[in-house]
Amino acid sequence: MAHLSNIYLRKHLIAIPIVLLIAISCDMSDSGMERDRFRPAPQGEWLLPISEIVDGGPGKDGIPSIDRPDFAPAGDITYVPDSRMVIGVYINGEIRAYPHQILDWHEIVNDDFGGVAAAVVYCPLTGTGMCWNRVIDGETTEFGVSGLLFRNNLIAYDRNTDSNWSQMQLRSVNGPHLGRDIETYQVVETTWATWKAMYPESMVHTTNTGHQRNYTSFTYGPDFSTNDNNILFPVKHTDNRLRNKDRVHGILGSFTPDDQPVVKVYALNDFGDGVSLIKDTFDTVDYLIVGSTEHDFAAAFRMDPSAIASNLEFQAVQDELPIVLQDSGGNKWDVFGRAVEGPLTGERLTAGRSYTGYWYAWADFFPGLQLHERR
């Protein structure tokens, strides 16, 4: 497995000073050391199998988070081709987009939305992007890249307590916050072309990161997101119901007695052209899952009995992006679940605990997960 660590490291060689590279090279060539295995301190309790935690290569903060992000209006952004992906966030009245071209190199952006501290956390190996609340126990923290991976997925750490957090499990798996869930904010991941059409007035992360990187390139190669065989670290649980790199939107439900969450995923290829709506009940909760294959996005909303719109009937809206839903009460809702027209204007649907990622990663992380079958 050491050669896989070397591959991951080479992707980020430009990020590491020459002196540190020499030290890493010596460390990796030492016959008494195995860079592909992580050996925690004896007192360190982990909620993940230690034998499956691997050292990605660059080391802690070797992939540097962005802690002072810079933004410009979408109309001023020229470095993102229409087909490349961005992660969009709406918090506290502010809409921002973070291109994969930035996140591939940095993985975490610690940001602030008018006093609301949040971190965009992206793992390029599993194709999973999300946004975390940076306030834990009343204290604001920053998240960094630990350099460790579990089943190809990023393990982040918080800089206040040095706790390690599994990105896909959405919880701390080691350290003072062991077992704690992270609070998330909804994200919308889609192509730059779709995002510009939906939110042309949004602010977008620029290439002004304080680091020297080729942000116009493909960090992991131009076919990484589509090549089913290009997976850097071994996969423990395979599932051939879909292709490895098919993008699916998954919902995490409650945890089972064996400490695994109940999970159900929805393939983006099943939504078809235009905008489609799936009404589903999963883990005793009613959901609205809205998405589009053509426009390359999906979002899930909880319809709890106490929800503001729980007594209304919803249907998909065509050709009005970012509006994707309308209801029997005369309201229209955008892809972030905001009522933008009608009596409920200003209200917002409750986002599911969900995110989009590669099928192989979901199946490997959560073996036995449910796959929605399109009728």
177, 135 contact by CB (below 8 A): no
Predicted TM-score (pTM) above 0.85: yes
Question: Amino acid identity of 303?
Answer: M
What are the tens digits of pLDDT across the range 53-77?
999 888 999 999 999 999 999 999 9
Q: What number of residues does the chain have?
A: 375
DSSP string, 226-281: T-TT--SS--SS--TTS-TT-EEEEEEEEEPTTS-EEEEEEEGGGS-SS-EEEEEE
Q: Can you list the residues of the chain whose pLDDT is less than 70?
A: 1-43, 256-258, 375
Q: Is the dihedral of CA 371, 186, 210, 84 positive or negative?
A: positive
* All residues at 6 or more sequence positions from 151 whose CB lies less than 8 Å from its CB, including other chains: 52, 126, 233, 235, 236, 361, 364, 365
Question: How many CA atoms lie less than 13 Å away from 253 in the CB half-sphere?
Answer: 15
Compute the distance between CA of residue 171 and CA of residue 160 in angstroms, rounded to an integer: 16
DSSP for 7-72 reads HHHHHTGGGS-HHHHHHHHHHHH-TT--TT-----TT--BSS-GGGEEE-SS-TTTSPPBSS--EE
Across 151-207, the runs of DSSP E, i.e. the strands, are 153-158, 164-166, 171-174, 184-185, 187-191, 203-205
What is the pLDDT, as a whole number, of residue 36? 47
pLDDT at 57: 86
Q: Which two tokens stand for residue 271?
A: 């939504």
Q: Give residue limits of the domains in the chain.
A: 1-234, 247-371
Over residues 92-128, the pLDDT tens digits come to 999 999 999 999 999 999 999 999 999 999 999 999 9
pLDDT of residue 52: 94
